[in-house]
């Protein structure tokens, strides 16, 4: 459970980094917390979950890929 939580925190950090890079590329101003961005990430997460083809949950795939 602890590894799962840490993996999710790491993924969130990676998404925040990617979002920052996208903003810089597009010339957007920096914001610490952007509710619209989080709403968009939530929508993307739902799309990924809907289209998930593997029998394993995503956290398990991430966990196994780190070994």
Q: How confident is the model at residue 19 (pLDDT cuts 50, 70, 90)?
A: confident
Our count of domains for the chain comes to 1
Q: Note down the domain range covering 9.
A: 2-65
Q: What does the pLDDT average to over 11-35?
A: 78
Q: What distance in Å separates the CA atoms of residue 18 and residue 33, rounded to the nearest whole number?
A: 14
pTM for the whole structure: 0.38
Please give the average per-residue pLDDT across 41-65, as a whole number: 82
* Spatial separation of the C-alpha atoms in residues 67 and 54, rounded to whole Å: 19
pLDDT: is 31 or 9 the higher one? 9
Contacts 24+ apart (CB under 8 A), 5-9: 7/59, 7/62, 7/63, 7/66, 8/59
């Amino acid at each position: 459970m602890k590894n799962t939580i840490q993996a999710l925190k790491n993924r969130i950090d990676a998404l925040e980094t990617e979002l920052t890079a996208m903003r810089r590329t597009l010339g957007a101003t920096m914001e610490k917390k952007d509710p619209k961005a989080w709403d968009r990430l939530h929508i993307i997460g739902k799309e990924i979950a809907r289209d998930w083809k593997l029998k394993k949950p995503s956290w398990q795939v991430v966990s196994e890929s780190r070994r």
